[in-house]
Amino acid sequence: MKNKVLGLSLYLSLALGISTVTYATAYEYAHGGTWIHGVGSKYVWSYYYHSSKGHGSTAIGKYESYSGYTRPGIKAKASATKTFWGINKAYYNVY
């Protein structure tokens, strides 16, 4: 049943000319915290969480976005409109 639904949805998307969007997302355990970063259809993002240390995250696309210093136990979030002609980047920092 699952294969029939998948096949039908693929057929319909091709028949109707609907394109699918591929997202590049990475989940990493880094410096005692969790870093989620990636590039979607419109944005580049960087989210970092650490339970016991201050931290921050940065996303660079058409412009640079910085979460600022984030207290332990709070997720640092940064996102920017992605660039189509340059390099989209994501960083995190632990203090």
Residues linked to residue 5 through DSSP beta bridges, in sequence order: none
In a domain, 26, yes or no: yes
- Does 11 fall in a domain? no
In a domain, 73, yes or no: yes
Is 14 domain-assigned? Answer: no
pLDDT in tens, 40-84: 999 999 999 999 999 999 999 999 999 999 999 999 999 999 999
Let me know if residue 9 belongs to a domain: no
Q: What is the CATH number of the domain that holds 90?
A: 2.60.40.2850
Q: pTM to 2 decimals? A: 0.74
- Structural domain total, the chain: 1
Judge whether 52 and 68 are in contact, CB under 8 Å: no
Domain span at residue 42 reads 22-94
